[in-house]
Amino acid sequence: MENISIRPARPAELSAVAALRWEWLVETGSEDLGEREDFVRHFVAWAGENAGSHRCTVLVRDDRVIGMAWLAVVRRVPTPRAPRRASGDLQCVYVVPEARDGGLGGRLIRAVLDGARELGLERVTVHSGTRAIPAYARNGFQESPRLLQARIARA
Protein backbone atom coordinates (compact mmCIF):
# COMPACT_ATOMS: atom_id res chain seq x y z
CA MET A 1 0.00 0.00 0.00
CA GLU A 2 1.25 3.46 -0.88
CA ASN A 3 2.16 5.87 1.87
CA ILE A 4 -0.35 8.60 0.91
CA SER A 5 -1.61 11.36 3.17
CA ILE A 6 -3.94 14.28 2.54
CA ARG A 7 -3.73 17.09 5.05
CA PRO A 8 -3.30 20.83 5.49
CA ALA A 9 -0.05 22.11 4.03
CA ARG A 10 2.71 22.86 6.50
CA PRO A 11 4.59 26.16 6.21
CA ALA A 12 7.78 24.30 5.27
CA GLU A 13 5.92 22.71 2.32
CA LEU A 14 4.83 25.94 0.66
CA SER A 15 7.91 26.02 -1.58
CA ALA A 16 6.95 22.57 -2.86
CA VAL A 17 3.38 23.78 -3.38
CA ALA A 18 4.72 26.78 -5.32
CA ALA A 19 6.76 24.39 -7.46
CA LEU A 20 3.57 22.45 -8.25
CA ARG A 21 1.88 25.66 -9.32
CA TRP A 22 4.87 26.42 -11.55
CA GLU A 23 4.75 22.91 -13.05
CA TRP A 24 1.04 23.35 -13.75
CA LEU A 25 1.63 26.65 -15.56
CA VAL A 26 4.42 25.13 -17.65
CA GLU A 27 2.27 22.07 -18.40
CA THR A 28 -0.58 24.24 -19.68
CA GLY A 29 1.71 26.21 -21.97
CA SER A 30 1.96 29.46 -20.04
CA GLU A 31 4.68 31.71 -21.34
CA ASP A 32 6.73 34.57 -19.94
CA LEU A 33 6.66 33.16 -16.43
CA GLY A 34 9.81 34.93 -15.32
CA GLU A 35 12.28 33.26 -13.00
CA ARG A 36 11.10 30.18 -11.11
CA GLU A 37 12.92 31.14 -7.91
CA ASP A 38 11.30 34.61 -7.91
CA PHE A 39 7.89 33.03 -8.34
CA VAL A 40 8.47 30.55 -5.51
CA ARG A 41 9.50 33.37 -3.14
CA HIS A 42 6.48 35.45 -4.13
CA PHE A 43 4.12 32.48 -3.82
CA VAL A 44 5.35 31.54 -0.34
CA ALA A 45 4.98 35.16 0.81
CA TRP A 46 1.50 35.34 -0.74
CA ALA A 47 0.45 32.13 1.01
CA GLY A 48 1.56 33.54 4.35
CA GLU A 49 -0.22 36.84 3.78
CA ASN A 50 -3.45 35.10 2.77
CA ALA A 51 -3.48 32.24 5.27
CA GLY A 52 -6.65 33.62 6.87
CA SER A 53 -8.68 33.31 3.68
CA HIS A 54 -6.89 30.64 1.60
CA ARG A 55 -6.34 27.16 2.98
CA CYS A 56 -4.04 24.77 1.19
CA THR A 57 -4.52 21.01 1.34
CA VAL A 58 -1.71 18.81 0.08
CA LEU A 59 -1.50 15.29 -1.27
CA VAL A 60 1.72 13.69 -0.03
CA ARG A 61 3.31 10.43 -1.15
CA ASP A 62 5.98 9.37 1.33
CA ASP A 63 7.57 12.80 1.99
CA ARG A 64 6.92 14.37 -1.43
CA VAL A 65 4.08 16.82 -2.10
CA ILE A 66 2.44 15.51 -5.29
CA GLY A 67 -0.82 17.44 -5.24
CA MET A 68 -2.51 20.54 -3.91
CA ALA A 69 -5.89 22.18 -3.62
CA TRP A 70 -6.75 25.60 -2.26
CA LEU A 71 -10.00 26.61 -0.58
CA ALA A 72 -10.66 30.35 -0.65
CA VAL A 73 -13.11 31.21 2.12
CA VAL A 74 -15.31 34.26 1.60
CA ARG A 75 -17.40 35.79 4.36
CA ARG A 76 -20.94 36.48 3.20
CA VAL A 77 -23.40 39.17 4.19
CA PRO A 78 -25.22 37.99 7.35
CA THR A 79 -28.90 37.25 7.68
CA PRO A 80 -30.93 37.12 10.91
CA ARG A 81 -30.85 33.30 10.83
CA ALA A 82 -27.24 33.04 9.69
CA PRO A 83 -25.14 35.81 11.21
CA ARG A 84 -21.82 34.12 10.30
CA ARG A 85 -22.23 33.00 6.69
CA ALA A 86 -19.37 31.95 4.44
CA SER A 87 -18.82 30.15 1.16
CA GLY A 88 -15.78 28.73 -0.53
CA ASP A 89 -14.12 28.55 -3.89
CA LEU A 90 -12.01 25.52 -4.72
CA GLN A 91 -8.90 26.70 -6.55
CA CYS A 92 -5.71 25.32 -8.06
CA VAL A 93 -6.43 21.63 -7.73
CA TYR A 94 -3.41 19.89 -9.21
CA VAL A 95 -1.90 16.40 -9.10
CA VAL A 96 1.41 15.61 -10.79
CA PRO A 97 0.90 13.78 -14.10
CA GLU A 98 2.39 10.47 -12.96
CA ALA A 99 -0.12 10.26 -10.08
CA ARG A 100 -3.27 11.01 -12.11
CA ASP A 101 -6.13 8.70 -13.03
CA GLY A 102 -5.90 6.60 -9.89
CA GLY A 103 -8.45 8.40 -7.71
CA LEU A 104 -6.03 10.63 -5.80
CA GLY A 105 -7.49 13.82 -7.25
CA GLY A 106 -10.94 12.75 -6.08
CA ARG A 107 -9.60 12.03 -2.61
CA LEU A 108 -8.05 15.50 -2.55
CA ILE A 109 -11.32 17.13 -3.61
CA ARG A 110 -13.27 15.18 -0.96
CA ALA A 111 -10.79 16.22 1.74
CA VAL A 112 -11.27 19.89 0.84
CA LEU A 113 -15.06 19.48 0.86
CA ASP A 114 -14.86 17.76 4.27
CA GLY A 115 -12.91 20.76 5.53
CA ALA A 116 -15.52 23.11 4.06
CA ARG A 117 -18.23 21.23 5.97
CA GLU A 118 -16.24 21.53 9.19
CA LEU A 119 -16.03 25.29 8.60
CA GLY A 120 -19.80 25.42 8.09
CA LEU A 121 -19.57 26.81 4.56
CA GLU A 122 -22.86 27.14 2.69
CA ARG A 123 -21.41 26.07 -0.66
CA VAL A 124 -18.19 25.58 -2.58
CA THR A 125 -17.77 26.61 -6.20
CA VAL A 126 -15.07 25.65 -8.68
CA HIS A 127 -13.98 26.95 -12.07
CA SER A 128 -12.74 23.84 -13.84
CA GLY A 129 -10.91 22.85 -16.94
CA THR A 130 -12.82 20.49 -19.23
CA ARG A 131 -10.75 17.42 -18.31
CA ALA A 132 -11.56 17.72 -14.59
CA ILE A 133 -15.32 18.31 -14.80
CA PRO A 134 -16.18 14.59 -14.40
CA ALA A 135 -14.05 14.39 -11.24
CA TYR A 136 -15.89 17.34 -9.71
CA ALA A 137 -19.26 15.91 -10.76
CA ARG A 138 -18.39 12.58 -9.09
CA ASN A 139 -17.75 14.52 -5.89
CA GLY A 140 -21.05 16.38 -5.76
CA PHE A 141 -20.48 19.48 -7.88
CA GLN A 142 -23.39 20.40 -10.15
CA GLU A 143 -23.97 23.08 -12.73
CA SER A 144 -26.05 25.95 -11.41
CA PRO A 145 -28.27 28.15 -13.57
CA ARG A 146 -27.99 30.88 -10.93
CA LEU A 147 -24.19 31.11 -10.78
CA LEU A 148 -23.09 33.80 -13.20
CA GLN A 149 -19.73 35.41 -13.77
CA ALA A 150 -18.52 38.67 -15.24
CA ARG A 151 -15.09 38.78 -16.79
CA ILE A 152 -13.29 41.92 -15.76
CA ALA A 153 -10.85 43.19 -18.36
CA ARG A 154 -7.42 44.20 -17.18
CA ALA A 155 -6.54 47.82 -17.68
pLDDT tens string 99-110: 999 999 999 999
CA-angle at 104, arms to 100 and 110, nearest 5°: 135
pLDDT of amino acid 2 = 76
pLDDT of amino acid 149 = 87
Distance CA 155, CA 149 (A): 19
- Reply yes or no on whether the pLDDT at 1 is more than 60: no
pTM of the model: 0.92
Residue among 138, 112, 107 at smallest CA distance from 124: 112
* Alpha-carbon distances, residue 60 vs 3, 23, 107, 147 (angstroms): 8, 16, 12, 33
